[in-house]
Structure 1
Amino acid sequence: MTYSVIEKQKINGVDLSFSINKQTNSNKPILLYLHGEPGDSCIPLTQKFNSELEKEFIFVNLEQRGSGLSYYKFSDSSKLSIEDIVNDIFVFINYLLKRFNQEKVILVGHSWGSVLAIKLIQNHPEIILKYIGIGQVINMKKNIEYQQSFLKEKGVAEKIINFEDEKALIADSLSLTRLIVKNGGSLYKQTNYSKLIFPFLFSKSYSLKSLIHRVKGSNQSIQYFWKELMDINFEEIDHFSIPIYFFEGRHDYHVSSEMVNEFSKKIKSSVSLVWFENSGHFPQWEESQKFNQCIIDICIHNDC
């Protein structure tokens, strides 16, 4: 097993932390991972479950501004938007390309990170070789309908969502997601996130202070970005200028994998859907061995 190290780089005036292989071979392809939620930084999880990728790639996990090891308190006057985070990633990618004398990166985006990735692909496809979307977001408002349908099948009373009031929208949609988790629609056959919490408690990369910052970073990122996230709708897209791969848990009702299935059938460019039969919203950690091997097969051996 290999282990990454933590580095920092100032991007758009903010110190951003990221994990990267030790003694990196600069000839390996760059694989950049974008975490979800928003604010759900996850370096301890990729170090535990995805270190196999460090053998074949320059594997980088960026903790986005205000999140985890990149935490700082957003000011009351901050007018941050999704495009600000996308621009951070664009600048960071160019830093990596210059550092390793390469022209493109392979991009992996999970959940919220998949929103950032699609927007980046739309704006700057020239710096991305391939894209792998996990728990891909397509239409956030329609996703609530899928969540409600899943809970109805489980016999759970319908949760009314107030779309008109921003604070109520955040509270209602997060409450709905907690019900999804509790009823096994997020982690397959699990009713809580214990599997994803323990790696943080035993991580050498995260101190107690870092764990506190992770919670604070997640809370503030949700407050700043959730309303804009709920307006995301990619359904009108039918073509990408780069190869696209969707890695979807068959039992993902957190962000509906069935919606991704329907979306992928409409794409006229190169797209592949890889199913993970024993996963929900987190196949990269629920079926990590298969996930890692699929990444290697697609990106190194060109075999899907």
Structure 2
Amino acid sequence: MYINEQGAIPINGALQYVSIRSEKENAPLLLYLHGGPGDAALPLVQKYNRDLEKHYTVVVWEQRGAGKSYYKFGPEGITIAHFLEDLHTLTELLLKRFGQEKLYLVGHSWGSVLGLTYIRQHPDKIHTYIGCGQVIHMKKACREAYDFALSHAVGKELERLKRTDCSYTGEDWLNDLLFVTGLVVKYKGSLYGKSSYNMLIKPFLFSRSYTPVDLYRRQKGSLQAIRCLWQELMQTDFENCRKYDVPVIFIEGRYDSHVSSALVKKYFDTLESDRQFFWFEKSCHFPQWSENEKFNSILASLAE
């Protein structure tokens, strides 16, 4: 192992946990932006995407308030802009330390909102952007998820859904959101072939990087971030942005009903930028882990 560093560093006033690993000297930098908001993913990347360390210096950042970077947000509140500032600070630190001009950026789900926004703001810092479980238009994606749940639900679930507001603006919006998401998972629209997230929980339980306290903090961080950020996240809409100044790659699960992959393909077809699209036929919202070998191979080819 050429480099293996794990630890918290101060980023814009908050200690945030960063993992840096590589088996290759002077490898290009790859920064992974996890989903959520607040849903840390370090053990999953280390388990399913470890082969990338043969080609890149892989950086996994647990964002402020998430997982090993958990802290209680103050009354002043938190916005997407805070995370974009953190991303920029971390990007500059990494580029300076490793003597590189640009890095590869991977954004998953919530992380894909940060990723697409960041490459518009700082295209000079990014070699290539890779989005998976990509968010394009959050309100439309939530409607698609709701319709998927509606098409499968029966009995009391169906009755409850009919009373649910999938714009998530009512007084009970958080419970509505968690209910709909739970049904999407249950009916296998989120994790391919699975009706629960057990496959994604096990790597945390057996990870050397995660303690039982970290797992508890991950749960608290996820719920806190959703409460604080969801209403702003619902305003996300990239549909009118047709051109990016960096190459854009979308890797999408064919059956993603968690964040509709059909919306991503429709958007991709309108882009005027350097672009590539990959369908993963045995994936939903997590192609990087459901078909990790294929995912790793595509990213490895970019580094050649």
Same fold (TM over 0.5): yes
Does structure 1 residue 15 correspond to structure 2 residue 19?
Answer: no
Does the C-alpha gap of structure 1 residues 238 and 139 become closer, same or farther in structure 2, counting only changes over 3 Å?
Answer: same
Q: Aligned residue for 1:276?
A: 280
Residues 30 and 58, structure 2, Cα contact 8 Å, conserved in 1: yes
Residues 239 and 269, structure 1, Cα contact 8 Å, conserved in 2: yes
Q: Aligned residue for 1:122?
A: 120
Counterpart of 1:50, as a letter, is N
Q: Aligned residue for 1:109?
A: 107
Counterpart of 2:141, as a letter, is N
Does the C-alpha gap of structure 1 residues 171 and 287 become closer, same or farther in structure 2, counting only changes over 3 Å?
Answer: same
Q: How far apart, in 2, do the equivalents of 1:30 and 1:208 lie?
A: 30
Residues 2 and 55, structure 1, Cα contact 8 Å, conserved in 2: no
Q: Aligned residue for 2:6?
A: 6
Post-superposition offset of 1:42: 0.7
What is the number of equivalent residue pairs in this alignment?
A: 298
Q: Aligned residue for 1:264?
A: 268
List runs of 5+ in structure 1 lacking aligned partners. none
SS in 1 for 2:188: coil
Q: Aligned residue for 2:49?
A: 50
| CA deviation string 1:234-267 (max 9, x = no partner) | 1111111110000000110000000001000010
Q: How does 1:126-141 map to 2 (within 5 A)?
A: 126-141=124-139
Overall identity of the aligned pairs, in %: 44
Does structure 1 residue 248 correspond to structure 2 residue 261?
Answer: no
Q: How far apart, in 1, do the equivalents of 2:113 and 2:149 lie?
A: 25
Does the C-alpha gap of structure 1 residues 166 and 149 become closer, same or farther in structure 2, counting only changes over 3 Å?
Answer: closer
Partner residue of 1:295 out of 288, 295, 299? 299
Counterpart of 1:148, as a letter, is Y
Q: How does 1:19-34 map to 2 (within 5 A)?
A: 19-21=19-21, 25=25, 27-34=26-33
SS in 1 for 2:17: strand
Cα RMSD for the two superposed structures: 1.8
SS in 1 for 2:282: coil
SS in 2 for 1:177: helix
SS in 1 for 2:96: helix
Q: How far apart, in 2, do the equivalents of 1:164 and 1:154 lie?
A: 20
Q: How does 1:141-290 map to 2 (within 5 A)?
A: 141-156=139-154, 157=158, 158-159=161-162, 160-161=164-165, 163=167, 165=169, 167-290=171-294
Q: How far apart, in 2, do the equivalents of 1:266 and 1:300 lie?
A: 27
Q: Aligned residue for 1:72?
A: 71
Counterpart of 2:32, as a letter, is Y
List runs of 5+ in structure 2 lacking aligned partners. none
Counterpart of 1:193, as a letter, is Y
